[in-house]
Amino acid sequence: MYKILSKSEIVPNVHKLVLEAPDIAEKAKPGQFVILMIDETGERLPFTLSDWDAKNGTITIYFLEVGLSTMDLVRFKGEELSAVIGPLGKPTPIDKFGTVVLGGGCYGVGGIYPIAKAMKEAGNTVITLIEARSSYLLYNEEGLRRVSDRFIVATEDGTKGEKGKVHDVIENLIQEESIDRAYFIGCTFMMMNCLNKTKTHDITTFVALNPIMVDGTGMCGCCRCSVDGKTKFACVDGPIFEAKEVDWDQLFKRNAAYSQQEAIIYQFHSCESEGV
């Protein structure tokens, strides 16, 4: 069993979860993820590791309530989770590349932090960009600013920082800076839009893919995706891949395979738990 040290909604629909998981905290590397199970019959939920503390034996993740199982996690009142499996996936290679841009949206604002921190420690010039619909939805600014040489916020309504999204901001940034590498974590659209900007300038770009996962160990085939024309399993071969090699059409189609069923069951249980 894994103790929940804290669980809170830090901005509307973004939840921060801190768990006692010393074995994972000791081995975690930037770019890796964990799978959580609320109870032994619950869904296996993959989440990007957003931080860890090997000394205190804790890990931190940020997640959004997007379906039935994340709703269950938000409403879970117990003190322990049945399982926390990880660290999973291949760590992102960290080296001195020069100027590195990190872009995060929704859960990726949390997920981008370990890579930004490691890149800064490796001697890179780190430029971090985050996006939200409005200023009241921004989070993790303090931590990201600390590990960045330049920190840029973008809001769709223009209430803080630049008006627009990360892919709008990066357009201007490319004119101002010589960028050696870029990493994006967020929803599939956000990552693809960012790639569309960086690839026209030949900037080596990486993204953390988020396909449907079940076991997280390369056995079920659920997270299958096509990268550079080859079949890859995001859970063991990724989740971080070079963005220009990803078959984005296939990724969108596979991610939408159960969206209708997911929406129906989520709506049904949301209404049920609210007594409608």
Question: Least distance in Å: CB of 72 to ligand FES?
Answer: 20
Question: What is the side-by-side order of every strand in the sheet holding 240-242?
Answer: 162-163, 150-155, 125-132, 99-105, 181-185, 204-208, 240-242
Among the listed residues 141, 156, 180, 215, the single contact to ligand FES using CB under 6 A: 215
Nearer to ligand FES, 46 or 114 (CB): 46
Question: Which of 14, 225 has the CB closer to ligand FES?
Answer: 225
Beta carbon nearer to ligand FES, 194 or 208: 208
Q: Facing residues of 104 across strands? A: 130, 185
| One of 30, 111, 216, 238 touching ligand FES (CB under 6 A) | 216
Q: Is 37 in the site for ligand FES (CB under 6 A)?
A: no
Q: Who's near 125: CB < 8 A, 6+ residues apart?
A: 98, 99, 100, 149, 150
Cβ nearer to ligand FES, comparing 43 with 215: 215
Binding mask 228-257 toward ligand FES (x if CB under 6 A, else -) reads -----x-x----------------------
Taking each helix axis from N to C terminus, what angle separates 248-255 and 188-198, rounded to the nearest 10 degrees?
Answer: 170
CB of 90 to ligand FES, least distance (A): 12
Least distance (Å) between residue 12 CB and ligand FES: 30
CB closer to ligand FES, 105 vs 216: 216
Our CB check for ligand FES shows the closer of 89 and 108 to be: 89
Structure tokens belonging to residue 79: 């003190």
How big is the site for ligand FES, counted in residues (CB under 6 A)?
A: 12
Residue 128, strand partner residues: 102, 151
Q: How far apart are CA 100 and CA 103, in angstroms?
A: 10
Q: Using CB under 6 A as the criterion, which residues of the chain lie in contact with ligand FES when the complex forms? A: 213-216, 218-223, 233, 235
